[in-house]
Amino acid sequence: MTENVLSARLMGVADMITPRSYVCDVGCDHGFLDIYLIKHGLITGAIASDVRPGPIMAARENVSRAGFSDVIKTVLSDGLKEVEVPDSHSTLVMAGMGGPLILKMIRESINKVRLFDEIIISPQSKVEEVRENFPDLGLITVKESMVYDAGKFYNIIKLVNKDIIKTEYNEATELIEKNAGASAGRICNRYGALLIRKSDPVLKKYLEWENNILRKNALSIKQAGNPEKYTKVLTDIEDNEITFKLMEVMYGYDHN
């Protein structure tokens, strides 16, 4: 991966960003995303920040080599503490980190986070836990995608302040609630209401992969005689099957 050719995961992040926005890339690593966005005229400027001196030095060198030092500012910052929110249309990006770390940084700077026009996150772990916390943070999902990159599945989620009264997310969750009943909340947090709503093809691939893993685990746990773990895996399998059924019944999606 370079500033000219991004990974599928970072391309998914880039596709989420509103054109002509000013990006604050927290956890920028080597700055490849920001350089790519500027080079292709997709954004007006960027702040590339990281808590580690090494990545910031590398990002600064890459930015300078690309000739974009005037439009990409590199900042050593613990989360958003040293990041200033621009006056123009702004996008906060948090990608390439674990879900708990993303939640921690958002909570620590929640007032600053809410000043951004959009927040794009790509948690590499605990995605369900991250989704569960959106209501308490005053954030709502307006767009979501899933990509398969180098043998792994990644969720990319766009958030805005929940002050937006009616969104596609609201409509998606209402439909899922009608068809899944008490399981709806758990399903939305586990798999993403908007991914289900649009019958996302990568979600289909993920569900099939997860189903195979869960069934193998269930057989192994049952043979080992662990009833508590076996019950948990059966619940996960049930969630998976309900999601497949939703995609079939509501949207005519065939996973056979």
Q: Which tens digits make up the pLDDT trace of 214-237?
A: 899 888 888 888 888 888 888 888
Give the DSSP letter of residue 182: G
Closest by Cα among 137, 138, 147 to 192? 147
Two tokens at 81? 């503490």
Residue 154 β-bridge partners: 147
Query: pTM of the prediction?
Result: 0.87
- Which stretches of 80-226 are DSSP H helices? 99-108, 110-113, 127-132, 134-137, 168-180, 184-191, 193-197, 201-224
Going along the chain from its start, the domains and CATH numbers come out as 8-163 (3.40.50.150), 173-251 (no CATH)
Per-residue pLDDT at 10 exceeds 60: yes
- What does the angle CA 133 – CA 247 – CA 222 come to, to the nearest 5 degrees? 75
Q: What is the mean pLDDT of residues 157-183?
A: 81
pLDDT category of residue 183 using cuts at 50, 70 and 90 = confident
